[in-house]
């Protein structure tokens, strides 16, 4: 895939390394006459350190594709490789381990734990990973600072705006240094100005951390902030930029 912007500047990005590779992905739900083919032979690849927007109307297959790339679902046929790992060859336990270490998710609904502070929400994946306390605290502070929430560490989600809550979700997703970020309509609940701020933040963090991101969005005004665009229609890629 060739991006529309200049290449990422992160020193950690390996030139030409492929972070995401999909080949002939088919996903069928049901069987017989009632079977629905949500994806009908999707192929693409994304170099490391790129942010790629995924477009398409409701029912086009965006969420199904993201779930398969992130290891939340399995393709009916075809292959997906994340950083060289073939997801179809992994068992459920191995996929769970991969989702904890290599892939992070951001959703439209934020998904924060309401009883925890911003810092405590960010700490969740680091605690699961068993990171020592000192390193954990340093990483939490760094991610809150990067996302502009250093002064809001002690506040709970209900005390933050929608944009701030999404920033906490971004900090939490990236705290564990994943290789791939999957974001499904992360700006869907935000106003236009805040949505653009969040997309800019995602691009900045992706480049500074050397992460590869797939971001589903219906907002065409955000596409100029992506390195490339995948357009889905009826389970097929119709445009690849």
* pLDDT-derived band at 21, boundaries 50, 70, 90: very high
How many other CB atoms are there within 10 angstroms of residue 215's CB atom? 26
- Give per-residue pLDDT as tens, 64-96: 999 999 988 999 999 999 878 888 888 888 888
The percentage of the chain sitting over the pLDDT mark of 70, rounded to a whole number, equals 93
| Alpha carbon distance 37, 75 (integer Å) | 11
What's the pLDDT tens digit per position in 134-162? 999 999 999 999 899 999 999 999 999 99
Mean pLDDT of 210-239: 90
Can you give the pLDDT at residue 115? Answer: 95
Residues 6+ apart with CB under 8 A from 93: none
3-state secondary structure of 190: coil
Cβ atoms of 38 and 9 within 8 Å: the answer is no
pLDDT of residue 238: 85
Instruction: Answer yes or no: are the C-beta atoms of 43 and 236 closer than 8 Å.
Output: no
The verdict on residue 10 lying in a domain is: no
How far is residue 83 from each of residues 22, 208, 224, measured CA to CA in Å? Answer: 12, 18, 26
> Which DSSP state fits 88?
G
Domain span at residue 216 reads 18-240
Summarize pLDDT for 35-75 with one digit per residue, the tens. Answer: 899 999 999 999 999 999 999 888 888 999 999 999 889 99
Domain count, the chain: 1
Nearest to 215 by CA among 176, 173, 175: 173
Domain-located, residue 76: yes
pLDDT of res. 241: 56
pLDDT value of residue 231: 92
How far apart (Å, rounded) are the C-alpha atoms in residues 23 and 42? 6
Q: Would 13 be classed as within a structural domain?
A: no
Establish if 31 belongs to a structural domain: yes
> What confidence score (pLDDT) does residue 240 get?
62
The pLDDT tens digits for 150-201 are 999 999 999 999 999 999 999 999 998 899 999 998 888 888 899 899 999 9
Question: Is residue 9 domain-resident?
Answer: no
Q: What mean pLDDT, rounded, does the chain reach?
A: 87
CATH code: domain of residue 234: 3.40.50.300
Is residue 139 situated within a structural domain?
yes
Asked, for residue 55, whether it belongs to a domain, the answer is yes
70 CB-side CA count, 13 A:
23
What is the pLDDT, as a whole number, of residue 144? 93
CB 68 within 8 A of CB 99: no
């Amino acid at each position: 895939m060739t991006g529309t912007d200049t290449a990422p500047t992160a020193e950690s990005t390996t030139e030409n390394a492929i972070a995401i590779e999909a080949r002939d992905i088919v996903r069928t739900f049901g069987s017989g006459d009632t079977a629905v083919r949500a994806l009908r032979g999707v192929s693409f690849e994304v170099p490391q350190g790129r942010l790629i927007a995924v477009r398409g109307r409701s029912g086009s297959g965006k969420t199904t594709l993201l779930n398969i790339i992130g290891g939340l679902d399995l393709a009916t046929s075809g292959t997906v490789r994340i950083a060289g790992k073939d997801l179809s060859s992994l068992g459920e336990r191995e996929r769970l381990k991969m989702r904890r270490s290599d892939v992070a998710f951001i959703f439209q609904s934020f998904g924060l734990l309401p009883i925890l502070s911003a810092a405590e929400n960010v700490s969740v994946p680091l605690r699961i990973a068993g990171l020592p306390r000192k390193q954990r605290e340093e990483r939490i502070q760094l991610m809150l600072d990067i996302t502009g929430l250093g002064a809001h560490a002690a506040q709970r989600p209900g005390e933050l705006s929608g944009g701030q809550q999404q920033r906490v979700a971004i900090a939490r997703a990236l705290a564990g240094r994943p290789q791939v970020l999957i974001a499904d309509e992360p700006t869907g609940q935000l106003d236009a100005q805040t949505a653009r701020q969040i997309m800019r933040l995602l691009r900045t963090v992706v480049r500074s951390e050397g992460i590869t991101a797939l971001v589903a969005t219906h907002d065409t005004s955000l596409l100029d902030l992506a390195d490339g665009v995948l357009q889905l229609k009826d389970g097929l890629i119709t445009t690849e930029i």
